[in-house]
Structure 1
Amino acid sequence: MPDYLSPDWPASALVLIDVQHDFVDGATPIPGTADALPAMAELTRAFRAAGRPVFHIVRSYAPGESDVDLIRREAIESGAQMVVPGTPGAGIPRELLPDDADPALDWESLRAGGTQRVGPEEFVVYKPRWSAFHRTELDELLRERSVSTVVVAGCNLPNCPRATLFDASERDYRTVLVADATSQTTPERLADLTLIGVQTSDVAAVRTAIGY
């Protein structure tokens, strides 16, 4: 029988979601994210060493703007500040980036839909909503690299990682969630994802699978 779910590791890419200072240990920390940061860093280094693509997906809110997910829209319109573009809180932790990468993000370009390269096959992409596929070039970037398997980790499983996994599956990507490199995981949430074919794994198993 055909196997449409098992990861195709030589054609995989890492999608690391919303790992930004404000969500790690800044203005609006998400429980468990700081604890998972070492695992995220180890996972990112493994994909980098394997020469596989890495996508850092980020979000930002300019105080007063309205192009915001509904649950936060009123707060941001009223001036609330979190991951404000250009502030340290919106930045990616240094340990997740290549050693020689400039950690400064070009927010004007990113928020206009641009992609910022931070390594040979490592990129930053801005998303305006939950899913990393919504109003972004992620799908095109993955297909340009013949990626068939999307490996997701990062911040706050119930929101952006989950939405990204659903959208990846709808685009016929094989999907993997790295549970120990993702915050806000629970057995119930992981079980729900298996019902749509998401494979769950951990950093050690993924490193073995990609050879690093």
Structure 2
Amino acid sequence: MTGSAVDAHLAPHWGAAALVTIDMQRDFLSESRYGLSGTTEIVPPLRDLIDAFRTASRPIIHIVRLYRGDDVDRVRRTLIGSGADMVRPGTPGRLLAPGLLPGDGPDLDDDLLLAGKPQPLGPHEYALFKPRWGAFYRTPLDDMLREREVDTVVFAGCNLPNCPRASIIEASERDYRVVLAADAVSQATGQGLREVAGLGVVLLDVAEIVAGLAVR
């Protein structure tokens, strides 16, 4: 995907990498009422990416949204206030897309997540609630990564222009090396990919990331 050598200050360190998936919940899948086109289609490559991080025993953090009360992005307050059934606690639509967790996977613990705590989902694997676009805003994500000596964050998931992009910027501001799985993120246009690349993000396909993890 990159097609050229990567600047040494940007190049991923696979032995110190973590995977962060963004908003890969059933209510956001392509066929859902509030879904985003292209999101269901990235589930297979994302599953391969998750499996590679599990095999490498590297951290995986699934970032999720939960809409309860009025602590909602301003742009969605009218929609949620009108009773829209979108990633509400206790509903099936808030769960991760089928196939992203081993087997059926554990249910999400809404109360734990809304309290700002990470929920263990498996060895080195967690769910974490974010209240706004960015995965670092009002979350312990930075502390979780630092505690695990992560310096490279690989992003994948739903809707590049919004939450992945906001999270990428936040990671860059914290001096992480940032990789975007370009074929495992929805709503990615050529212009959008060029823009994040201009921030110093390394664009790689899932197969390239998997290969990097295998020889770390």
Contact residue 98 and residue 118 of structure 1 kept, 8 A: no
Q: Which amino acid is the alignment partner of residue 161 of structure 2?
A: P
Q: Show the counterpart of 2:23.
A: 18
* Distance in 2 of aligned mates of 1:160 and 1:186: 15
- RMSD of Structure 2 on Structure 1 (CA): 1.3
Give the number of aligned pairs. 208
Give unmatched runs, 5+ long, in structure 2.
1-6
The secondary structure found in structure 2 opposite 1:76 is: helix
Q: Show the counterpart of 2:127.
A: 124
Q: Show the counterpart of 1:158.
A: 161
Q: Show the counterpart of 2:54.
A: 48
Give the structure-1-normalised TM-score: 0.95
Structure 1 residue 86 corresponds to structure 2 residue 70: no
The secondary structure found in structure 2 opposite 1:97 is: coil
Q: Deviations over 1:40-95 (max 9, x none)?
A: 11111111111000000000112xx2211111112112222211111100001231
The secondary structure found in structure 2 opposite 1:150 is: strand
* Distance in 2 of aligned mates of 1:112 and 1:204: 36
Give unmatched runs, 5+ long, in structure 1.
none
The structural deviation recorded for 1:13 is: 0.3
Runs of at least 4 residues of structure 1 off by over 6 A? none
Q: Which amino acid is the alignment partner of residue 93 of structure 1?
A: A
Q: Which residues in structure 2 correspond to 1:101-120 (within 5 Å)?
A: 101-102=105-106, 104-120=107-123
The secondary structure found in structure 2 opposite 1:175 is: strand
Give the structure-2-normalised TM-score: 0.93
* Distance in 2 of aligned mates of 1:100 and 1:19: 15
Structure 2 residue aligned with 1:195, among 194, 198, 205?
198
Structure 1 residue aligned with 2:183, among 169, 173, 180?
180
* Distance in 1 of aligned mates of 2:36 and 2:108: 22
Identity of aligned residues (%): 51
The structural deviation recorded for 1:100 is: 6.9
Structure 2 residue aligned with 1:36, among 11, 25, 42?
42
